[in-house]
Structure 1
Amino acid sequence: MVEVSEDVVARLGASVAAVLPLIALRVPAGPAAGLGRLGAPDDPALRTAVRRRAAMADVAGARARGVLARPGPPRPVPRGVGVPRPMPAGPVAWAGSPTADGSALLAALGDVEPLLAERLLGALELLVDDLRLAGVPDLTACVEPAPAGQYVVTESAGQSEAVAAARTVDLLHPGVAELIESLCRRLAAHDQLREPLAVGEGDEASVAAGHGAAHLALAVATASAVLGQVPVPAFVDRPAAVVGLAVGAAVVLLREAPMPAAYESALLAKARADYLLPRHSVGSVTVSGHRFALAESGFPERADFGGNGLVSVVDGGVVIRTGVEHGPVTVIARVLAEPPASVEAAGWDEVVEVGWRASHGRASVRGPDGGGDPTLARITPPWPGDYRLRVHARGRDDVDDPWAESYELVVWQAPAAPEVVHRRTDRLGHRLRGEPEPDRAPRPEMAYRWLRRSTLSEAATVTVVTGAPVGQVLEAFGADPARPEPMRDIAADLAARGSIDPWVAVLDTGAAVVAVEYNGFQGSSEPVLRQASARGRAASLYWSVDADRRLSFAEDGQMLAAFEPPAAGDLPSTVAAALTGLDLHDVRDRNAKGLVAVERFTGRGLTADDMARIEAAGIGFRIVPHMPPLYPYDPRRVDARLGLDLAALDALPEARLRDAAWWAVAEAASHTDLAGDPDIAESVATRTLTGAALQRARRAQLEAGQERWLWLAAHRATNPDARAAVTDALDAARYAAGPHASVLLDRARAKIA
């Protein structure tokens, strides 16, 4: 690139300064603010206007990496992205991939979101087309002529017209992009542009927008001046090329330019205006040297944990001592408007409360090596003052299990006060405080830590049954013992159909039968457990990826208890004994604790060796599920959309209620493909589900659609509670009736009124 003299830059600066305010006024505030925030790297949440553009298609990238000899007529291309006619034979230059960009300007342009470039083009193209700069010096000597005998093919798919036009011009006139970038850099530092680029006081958005608009206007004027002296072919839209090159130059400038002096205070004012309490964040921090911190800036160099064994107050924040030496730990952060009502010590090993004084606020959770989870950045209030911090820690002694260790930080503003230790139970804390370590027996749930590394880690149901052979257990689940299938085939079939139909694998351990559902929950249902426990005991634990859990216990064909841990209310003595010593309020190892309870109740648990045997055998059985349980009438469960007069319902005799329930089934059937079906007709006539009808009803639960809802309506109509039979049957019948649901409900209301 030819060196441009200082005199030429000064003369160009005068021309640019004259039009810069006019151009800046035409830049939309939103895109301008997005560009203006590029120089604020400490606020990544604000940097949403520009991001890395997706890579081009493989074929385009391949063409960008070489020179292809391809004479012949060009293919049709959009306006402003094309080729000259007639086309001579010769080497081909391919524009369109970021890998082909040779200048910082074009590389920056590749980072711009296409919609942002298009919005700026739409706002500025008419202005650029009419823009005339007075006194522009001669720049033709600074631009290289187009190489002779070359033609250009450009790729426009997925990119802005402004971007494609800018790249095409730079290929036709190599060095144009570098010239514009160089001139913009020099002009941005020139005394003549100091006042036009200056931004006054205002809120964060207006200061950022003013900053971005001024630098983009500088780049637009400069690019317009250069391209005004370059022979741009007719097939390239000149305003699009100007805007494209200007946006790239503005991105380069704004990434490096310091933010306006008013921006820091404006950003702080915005942070304070937007800060709401309470706040709740969850993330992770990378620990190093057994430490992480909640600090306003940097990482504190020194910390003393000899006092409480967990937290050290330092200048600018606090440092927390971890059990793990290096690696990520989970951190929950809560910032409250007032002190917490109580101390939540259950489930935590150590809880310590300290005070510290913030010099400016906006403290972040960070590790010694820098960085940190954005969700834990600048979480404390953005103003100075005295604060209280309550640190909860668990799992610091479980150094062999990186998933066990986690922390909760609770922050609120409060006057300075002495340190308070609410709980001190882990061995690490005792060692740091110079105290004798407590002597504790290993927790029983530790035997199930292998579960986290198994195929059951995310979701499963484990059921253990005593007093029944494998065949009876499978029949209790609704599976056919005579129809085993390879587990791999079952999984492949379900994946191909996008289905979650239930299936189960079983293992006869001699003392008990262990049933495992990898992604099902039939073992937690009452019909399964009642039938399975007819001559012994059955217990199950179900858990899901949504952290749902259910512990269930049955004996001699009777349900004893079923609940989501921890249990509420009185439990039978046999169930209570199985839960003795298990802290179900503690979130750690809840699945493992549940399996301990199952093992205690049945006398047999699930081991890693059991799972290895089940998976080595690779045999599963498909389940035809039992019908759902029927519950007594409860007016709170009646869907208001049914529009029923509940007082009138209460006044009806049982015979009328039964008539209404089975009428709903028959009416719904008349609107489905099962109208006139003999099994439906027999069920309505006998008011029961028996034999073939029951089997069809069970199989219908594996499918979606009207048939499933019709059989559910028939099942619900058998409810011993007559009022529940009416309301629940109608609830299912309306779905079975499909588009005729409103007619069905209108007629049902008339029968009940």
Structure 2
Amino acid sequence: MVEVPDALLEELAGPVAGAIALVIARIPKVPAAELGRLRATDDGTWPIRGSSIGRRAGVWSPAGSRPGAGDSPVRDALGSLPPLLVERLLGALELTVPELDLAGVPDLAGLLGEPVTGRFVMAMTSGTSEAVHGAAMLDQVRPGAVPLVAALARRLATRERVAALLAVGPEITDEPGVAAAHGGAHLALAVSSAAAVLHGVGVQAWAIEPPVVLGVAIGTAVLLLQETLMPPGYAAAVVAKARAEYLLPLGCSGRAPVSEHRFALLEEGGVPDVDFSGNGLVAVVAGGAVIRTGIETGHVQILLSVLEEPPSDVATGWEEIVEVSWQAAVGGASVAGSQPVEPQLRRVTPPWPGAYRLRVHARGRDDADETERYELVVWQAPAAPDIVHARTDRLGHRLRGEVEPARPEPPEAVYRWLRRSSLSEAATVTVVTGAGVAAVLRAFNADPARPESLYSIAEESLERQSIDPWVAVLDLGGAVLAVEYNGWQGSTKPVLARASAAGRAASMYWNVNAVMRLSFAQHGQVLLSKEPFGVLDAPPPVAETLAELDFADHHRGRNMMGLVAVQRFTGHGITADDLARIEAADIGFRIVPDLPTLYPHRPHHPHHPRPGNPLAPTTETLTGLPEPALRDLAWWAAAQAAHYAGLNKDPDIAASIAARTLTPDARLRARHSQLADGEHRWVWLALHRATNPDPLAAATETLEAARYAAGPHAANLIADAQSKITTPEPS
């Protein structure tokens, strides 16, 4: 960069300082504050909700926003901003640039070399901001002009008359005001400098147009603000804002990074090395506490709560619970570890000093196969002695120098491998006795003669976002294991009844939403099928399989306990080797599912009707009709569904309507219609629902299916149905 004499710089400072006040007045407060916070996180202040604190150069890089990125700090800085922020500033200031008084700007042409001559081409992505495009063009056409603006703006910021304009007055004490004043002043300096310098170096007329000037100026302002310390009053303003906005109770969850068997809750600094021999779980340090983990490195799941008052009781289901006091110097402690933590775990405790209690709950520290979990509960309270509420894990005993307890493994421990398997999130595992592989496949409505690659089926399901069912099976010798990846057919009563016809069948279903079902069947009869939560009231053949399985304890793996019950009931379970054999064989079978189960009519509560149901008035009038009339209405609705779908002449449909039951061929087609590529789903559902043994359910549910099958003619179907109900058929 060419050296600029002090005299020339002082001469330039006059018009720049004179223009700053005008520019400041035109900058909106919100985008000015966004710019003003660019350095905030580097100063260790609290993040401001709803702001762009922490957005650093290179974080935001929309396509086309950084042509030639890497060779121009100003353009890199401009590209680091959110596009909407750049556009808002461009819109706010583009009319101000022509108003700036640049009459006193000295001749700066000698500071640059000769301009580029000849022709050149620049390619820009469609939608690129005029400001970004203009800065890039200028950088290519007049090399040195853009970095000269940044260099002179830096030096001008140190000149007395300019520096005075950049200072934030003591009368501004609120965080948005301080940030806006800081950001606005430096942007105004950058705009005034860019306009003055580009005017002084004698660039072509297009290069002093507002978009070009503002593109260079905004990028320059980002560099200045990233290099400049926050105003002296900013830290206090942020603390005041954080305290005003902090509400109790507060709760958050996430993953804490662990290194050398520990993570912490700290106001600042790294996690220190401490002695855990006192209580075996938590050690108090300056500004927080350090927690001892079972794993040496990695991450653990934590739940953190900050309460207004002490917890009403001590939680159950945790192996270690210790309560300690700690003193906050300034407040705003964060979960801390060897790596940066998730945003929701930062500055979580109250942002003010004082004495606090911390109750740490831990589970799973003893076993690498167990998921380690922690709950931290914080509340403000005077210092008090430590309290140990629970001390049962082996690690805690070792750390305290105590004899380790003899702790038998829970029954479900044999299934901990499941958490690291392909079945971890969603699956159904079914075990069947008294039947061979082919019989089990037929019970699942799968064709034993049509095996396929299970990986191909799974990949196809993922690509099509389909939940069409399929199953893989394995002969265990004395039982057949059926595994459904993200499926649930083995939890349905028809499948269980068929599978258990000559013996027993049991299944455990779970999914990512914690929906579960544990089922048992024997000799064609389903004995129990329900969600395994709390105490299960089971018949004698099942009750003994549930011993020692505490489904009320949500900390224990309910799906794993369910698999223990399946194994006890059938004499066989699933092992990691079994799953490996299934996946190595790479054989799966597609399922054509049963039609949905038909239930008796279940009226909606009068105070909670089904919202937006146009059939509600019609349904109310059906309750007094005799059974023959309801049957007639159901099959009329099914026929109307076929008519509106153009299928009334389909032989299978016509035969089913005439017989008032699904023919075997029609039933198979109806089942196929429920698959992802099935056709006329609602027509077939209307026919199926018309067969409901409960006449009122048959009429109401068939009308509903027919309404969907009728599509744009639904209103006509509803009107015809109402007329048919209220107008008796002629005798």
Do these two structures clear the TM 0.5 threshold for a shared fold by scoring above it? yes
1:345-744 map, 5 Å: 345-346=316-317, 348-367=318-337, 369=338, 371-398=340-367, 400-401=368-369, 404-495=371-462, 497-584=464-551, 585-636=553-604, 639-640=610-611, 641=613, 642-644=615-617, 648-703=621-676, 707-744=680-717
Contact 1:152 1:171 in 2 (8 A): no
The CA deviation at 1:219 is: 0.5
In structure 1, the residue matched to 2:163 is 194
- Report the CA distance between 1:287 and its aligned residue: 1.5
Contact 2:61 2:79 in 1 (8 A): no
**What is the CA distance between 1:246 and its match in structure 2?**
0.8
Secondary structure of 2:512 counterpart: coil
4+ runs deviating over 6 angstroms: 53-57
- Distance verdict in 2 for CA 1:432–1:445, change over 3 Å: same
The whole-number CA distance in structure 1 between the counterparts of 2:378 and 2:723 is 59
Match of 2:287 in 1: 316
CA distance in 2, matches of 1:528, 1:485: 21
State the match for 1:123 in structure 2.
92
TM-score (norm 2): 0.91
- Could you tell me how far 1:393 is from its partner in structure 2? 0.7
AA aligned to 1:555 is: Q
1:294 aligns with 2:265: yes
Aligned-residue RMSD, C-alpha: 2.6
Which residue, out of 98, 120, 140, partners 1:152?
120
Q: Which amino acid is 1:378 matched to?
A: R
Q: CA deviation at 1:562?
A: 1.7
SS in structure 2 at match of 1:729: helix
CA distance in 1, matches of 2:287, 2:716: 69
| Equivalent pair of 1:128/1:224 in contact (CA under 8 Å) | yes
Match of 1:106 in 2: 75
The amino acid that maps onto 2:320 is E
Task: Indicate conservation of the 8 Å contact 1:643/1:749, yes or no.
Answer: no
Any stretches of 5+ residues in structure 1 without a counterpart? 62-94
Measure how far apart 1:706 and its partner are.
7.0
Question: Secondary structure of 2:95's match?
Answer: helix
Question: SS of 1:121's equivalent?
Answer: helix
**Distance between the aligned counterparts of 2:93 and 2:673, measured in 1?**
62
Q: Identify if the C-alpha distance between structure 1 residues 137 and 588 changes in structure 2 by more than 3 Å, giving closer, same or farther.
A: farther
Indicate which of 121, 145, 158 corresponds to 1:176.
145
For 1:313 and 1:50, how far apart are their aligned partners in 2? 35
One-letter identity of the residue aligned with 1:209: A
Conserved 8 A contact 2:199-2:208: no
SS at match of 1:232: coil
CA shift, 1:294, in A, is 1.0
Structure 1 position 451, deviation (Å):
2.4
User: Contact between 2:109 and 2:202, CA under 8 Å: does it hold in 1?
Assistant: no
Alpha-carbon distance, 1:698 to partner: 0.8
Conserved? CA contact 1:706–1:735, under 8 Å: no
- Cα 1:326–1:493, aligned 2, differ >3 Å: closer, same or farther? closer
Q: Distance in 1 between matches of 2:249 and 2:312?
A: 14
| Further displaced range: 573-582 or 47-56 | 47-56
1:241–1:235 Cα change, 3 Å: closer
Question: Partner amino acid for 1:321?
Answer: R
Cα distance in 2 for partners of 1:649, 1:341 equals: 52
Give the deviation of 1:170 after TM superposition.
2.6
Q: 1:523 and 1:354, CA in 2 relative to 1: closer, same or farther beyond 3 A?
A: same
| Counterpart-to-counterpart distance in 1, 2:702 and 2:380 | 55
- Give the Å deviation of 1:134: 4.3
2:718 partner amino acid: L
TM-score where L is the length of structure 1: 0.88
Query: Does the 8 Å contact 1:526/1:629 carry over to 2?
Result: no
Q: Which segment drifts farther, 264-273 or 512-521?
A: 264-273
Match of 2:729 in 1: none
Name the % identity: 56
Deviations 1:136-178 (A, max 9, x none): 233222222214x554322321532212222322333322222
Distance across 1 between alignment mates of 2:358 and 2:716: 61
Q: 2-side partners of 1:273 and 1:574: how far apart?
A: 61
- 1:307 aligns to what? 278
| 636-645 vs 612-621, greater mean Cα deviation | 636-645
Whether the aligned pair in 1 keeps the contact of 2:325 and 2:386 (CA below 8 Å) is yes
Q: State yes or no: 1:279 paired with 2:250.
A: yes
**Alpha-carbon shift at residue 498 of structure 1 (Å):** 4.4
Q: Number of residues paired by the alignment? A: 711
Per the TM alignment, residue 496 of structure 1 is displaced from its structure 2 partner at its CA by 5.4
Q: What SS does the aligned partner of 1:33 have?
A: helix
State the alpha-carbon separation in 2 of the partners of residues 736 and 50 from structure 1. Answer: 55
Do structure 1's residue 210 and structure 2's residue 181 form an aligned pair? yes
Return the offset for 1:449: 2.8
Per the TM alignment, residue 646 of structure 1 is displaced from its structure 2 partner at its CA by 6.0
Matched residue SS, 2:94: helix
Q: Which runs of 5+ in 2 are unaligned?
A: 727-731
2:58 alignment counterpart: 52
Instruction: Report the counterpart of residue 85 of structure 1 in structure 2.
Output: none
